[in-house]
Amino acid sequence: MKRLAVVLAAGQGKRMKSKLYKVLHPVCGKPMVGHVLQTVEQVKSERTVVVVGHGAEAVRSYLGDAAEYVLQEQQLGTGHAVKQAKELIGQEEGSTIVICGDTPLVTPETLEGLLELHESNQAAVTILTAHMDNPKGYGRIIRSEKGDVLRIVEQKDCSPEEDAVCEINTGTYCFDNAKLFAALEKVTNQNAQQEYYLTDCISILKQSGDKVLGYQTEDEAESIGVNDRLALSQAEALMRERIARRHMLNGVTLIDPSSTYIGADVQIGSDTVIYPGTFLKGSTTVGSQCTLGPNSEIEDSSLADGVTVKYSVLCEAEVGAETSVGPYAYLRPGTKLGQNVKIGDFVEVKNAVIDDGSKVSHLSYIGDASVGKNVNVGCGAITVNYDGYNKSVTEIEDDAFIGSNVNLVAPVKVGKGAFVVAGSTITHSVAENDLAIARVRQENKPGYAEKIRSRAKAKKSSNSSSKPE
């Protein structure tokens, strides 16, 4: 049976009090609507329609061609929103998931269970429900003795018996597509809000003799819809806990899960150990047997097996196997490190390739450069890559030695096995196996330091005596 999805993402989200459109607020580094779209993709939705309204262009820009779009120009209720998709999918046969774009905690496993119950029973609609010990504010699910859903009763309309029911409506549904759009034609706005409610379809289908079922999720957290910053923080905490649990069950050690931040799309190999205060963000991938942290931030980067990162920041960097980074290093976009490379304390690398076995141990800047294998870069050495107008490239070939406090003024090339003496400013290329030295010859003036001190002492004495009493 064909599977379809309608994602409701047209609401303005006034309670967020934000210039950012509500469904684009991130949870664990990914916008909420991105979580929802990924979930429906994983249950093999063949066509997904996103209903947009406020912030339509921003949502389209983020999701791109991952969905089809319809515009709800006026927000006239959930039923009205779903009805906007009729032109695109109204003639399709199959099962249609209707889900809100601000429910990032719904899992593919739960949606699959909802779909299987719906399809195996040929139901007209199956409602995703949850058990809540304190269901205040939620619509209650009222079932028959056989377990069929009789109706949804909103909090304000509950009798004392109905108010005691702890099964609530999460706002996620699975409909027979043809029956959904037929029922929507019968929905009216004869209510206090003068809106067209999707929940009215439930009673319309029930009155027509169609089968209405409920599927209860095991995790009430999946019912959370994010409408304000408080709910956003709750969703963030719950998803962080879920992500941490998944990685730990897959063989990753988190020394303190509560102070470790892992994005939704991050991948981590087994036997990796992560220390507190570490942030793994974006599309970062981490190999096996790595040691990360404490207090490191790694974003959109790729780390091979056996990498160590301490107290450092990595952004859009590639790090080879058994390489160590830090403490207090900064790998900026375009950095590519080979195997067994050492990047030490207070080293910054930007848009540079550093090949296997090379070392940049402390207090250096390597930018717009190509560094070969087994190169040693001494303390305080830098590539001078910017002249105020253009950025130029520095090349350092295999087995070269760059002494401390060397300035390599690009464009310049240091040949294989060449030796650059400490303190040199290199403006011309150095040939293979040559030694380069570019500094003023040292001159010692005997006794001159004592003369300087005597002059300073005399000047100080003179200034003191000339002060008025």
User: For every residue of the chain, which 3-state class applies, written as one string?
Assistant: CCEEEEEEECCCCHHHCCCCCHHHCEECCEEHHHHHHHHHHHCCCCEEEEEEECEHHHHHHHHHHHCEEEECCCCCCHHHHHHCCHHHHCCCCCEEEEEECCCCCCCHHHHHHHHHHHHHCCCCEEEEEEECCCCCCCCEEEECCCCCEEEEECHHHCCHHHHCCCEEEEEEEEEEHHHHHHHHCCCCCCCCCCCCCCCHHHHHHHHCCCCEEEEEECCHHHHCCCCCHHHHHHHHHHHHHHHHHHHHHCCCEECCHHHCEECCCCEECCCCEECCCCEEECCCEECCCCEECCCCEEECCEECCCCEECCCEEECCEECCCCEECCCCEECCCCEECCCCEEEECCEEEEEEECCCCEEEECCEEEEEEECCCCEECCCCEEECECCCCECCEEECCCCEECCCCEEECCEEECCCCEECCCCEECCCECCCCEECCCCCCCCCCCHHHHHHHHHHHHHHHHHHCCCC
Residue 136's CB: how many other CB atoms inside 10 A?
8
CA–CA distance, 86 with 83 (Å, rounded to integer): 5
User: Annotated binding site: which residue ranges?
Assistant: 8-11, 22, 72, 77-78, 102, 139, 154, 169, 227, 332, 350, 365, 376, 385-386, 404, 422, 439
- Single out the catalytic residue among 35, 80, 362, 428: 362
Residue 428 designated active-site:
no
Catalytic annotation, residues: 362
